[in-house]
Amino acid sequence: MVGALVYGESKLFSSFLGVGANHLLRSRLPVHQLFANNPGGKHVSMQLPKALSGLTNLFFSRRNLDEMQNTKRKRLRPGKISPRLPVPDNIPRPPYVKSKQPPGIASGPEVHDEKGIECMRASGRLAAQVLEYAGTLVKPGIMTDDIDKAVHQMIIDNGAYPSPLGYGGFPKSVCTSVNECICHGIPDSRALEDGDIINIDVTVYLNGYHGDTSATFFCGDVGDEARKLVQVTKECLDKAISICAPGVEFKKIGKIIHDHADKHRYGVVRQFVGHGVGRVFHADPVILHFRNNDGGRMVLNQTFTIEPMLTIGSKNPVMWDDNWTVVTEDGSLSAQFEHTILITNDGAEILTRC
């Protein structure tokens, strides 16, 4: 999942917290203690220490969703969410499911021995296969809930657990983020429409290791503006992966992504980040997708995600009352791509590729 909480993560999921939030990311506060919404309202606030409370507006806009400017495209609205799907008892669960407690961000990088690398390759390969299959389902008229059911079934048929399910209370097995949804969209009864774009974020837990990936797909006849955004977002991910190798500074990822986005005048979402992934869903390091001066260098046999989110208009996020779905402040389109990579002697190996 996105980011480093949130799903996050964050992608939940690393995409879930980002900039300025490095201190928060390295805290072990669970999701529900970081965010709270006003019942009946459309705003979200972060539960921060007093020293950080002034940063709230850097994370989430206070703007009312109903006050967004009109566009020809219909704005997303919550649909009906079906009951949580069951997982066979014989399939191992991540620890956070058994404890029923929202996990914090694990400190320390995910660095693997030979056996761990093979496990990461297996989980990454399955995640890629599931994502590829999910993409074939995208067509006008299909409900995102139907995509969730298909993804869920494929994952459990392969003896794996859908990592988002039960993570911090997330009710589904995959994230489906349509049009202006930046990340962490909850599959529901909304049917996809001709011209939509949809990011599908898949994470599987197989043999004790998580594989995390996402891609943005076209639904029917998609306009040139949306197609270009999706293309450039994919290019940002590819460029970032191309510079990864032992000893490379993590901040170079943010620079190359931000530079390419600027060239095309797209916004880069800052609040959601990439993250270490492996035996735990979200771990160090926090991968920022914009220019920054954070320290840290890549090490051999380390695994982490890169998952840039670009927008055509405002890069400021608004969170729905479900405490998961994050949309652009102005309703403009957003796109995202994500891979889990392994740092090798020769550079980086993409683990989430079929």
How many Å apart are CA 137 and CA 15, to the nearest integer?
Answer: 25
CA distances from 119 to 72, 173, 195 (A): 46, 21, 38
Q: Do residues 34 and 47 lie in contact, with contact meaning Cβ atoms separated by under 8 Å? A: yes
Residues in the chain: 354
113 marked ligand binding residue: no
Residue 1 sits at the vertex; the CA angle it makes with 135 and 257, to the nearest 5 degrees, is 90
At 45, list the tokens.
């606030």
At 283, list the tokens.
């771990």
How many Å apart are CA 175 and CA 112, to the nearest integer?
Answer: 27
The 3-class SS string of the chain reads CCEEEECCCCCCEEECCCCCCHHHHCCCCCHHHHEEECCCCCCEEECCCHHHHHHHHHHCCCCCHHHCCCCCCCCCCCCCCCCCCCCCCCCCCCHHHHHCCCCCCEEEECECCHHHHHHHHHHHHHHHHHHHHHHHCCCCCCEHHHHHHHHHHHHHHCCCEECCCCHHHCCCCCEEEECCEEECCCCCCCECCCCCEEEEEEEEEECCEEEEEEEEEECCCCCHHHHHHHHHHHHHHHHHHHCCCCCCECHHHHHHHHHHHHHCCCEECCCCCEEECCCCCCEEEEECCCCCCCCCECCCCEEEEECCEEECCCCCEEECCCCCCEEECCCCCEEECEEEEEEECCEEEECCCC
Q: Do residues 345 and 40 lie in contact, with contact meaning Cβ atoms separated by under 8 Å? A: no
Q: Which residue has the tokens 């961000």?
A: 105
23 marked ligand binding residue: no
Please list the pLDDT of the chain residue by residue as tens digits (354 residues). Answer: 865 333 333 333 344 433 333 333 443 333 333 333 333 333 333 333 222 223 333 343 333 333 334 457 889 999 999 999 999 999 999 999 987 666 777 889 999 999 999 999 999 999 999 999 999 999 999 999 999 999 999 999 999 999 999 999 999 999 999 999 999 999 999 999 999 999 999 999 999 999 999 999 999 999 999 999 999 999 999 999 999 999 999 999 999 999 999 999 999 999 999 999 999 999 999 999 999 999 999 999 999 999 999 999 999 999 999 999 999 999 999 999 999 999 999 999 999 998
CA distances from 9 to 77, 189, 274, 346 (A): 23, 25, 7, 27
pLDDT of residue 8: 34
212 marked ligand binding residue: yes
282 marked ligand binding residue: yes
How many Å apart are CA 75 and CA 331, to the nearest integer?
Answer: 7
Domain ranges of the chain: 3-37+100-350
43 marked ligand binding residue: no
pLDDT of residue 44: 35
Cβ-count burial of 49 within 10 angstroms (0-12 exposed, 13-18 middle, 19+ buried)? exposed
Instruction: Say if domain 3-37+100-350 classifies as CATH 3.30.465.10.
Output: no
**Cis amide prior to 308 (ω within 30 degrees):** no
- The two beta strands, 35-37 and 161-162, are unpaired
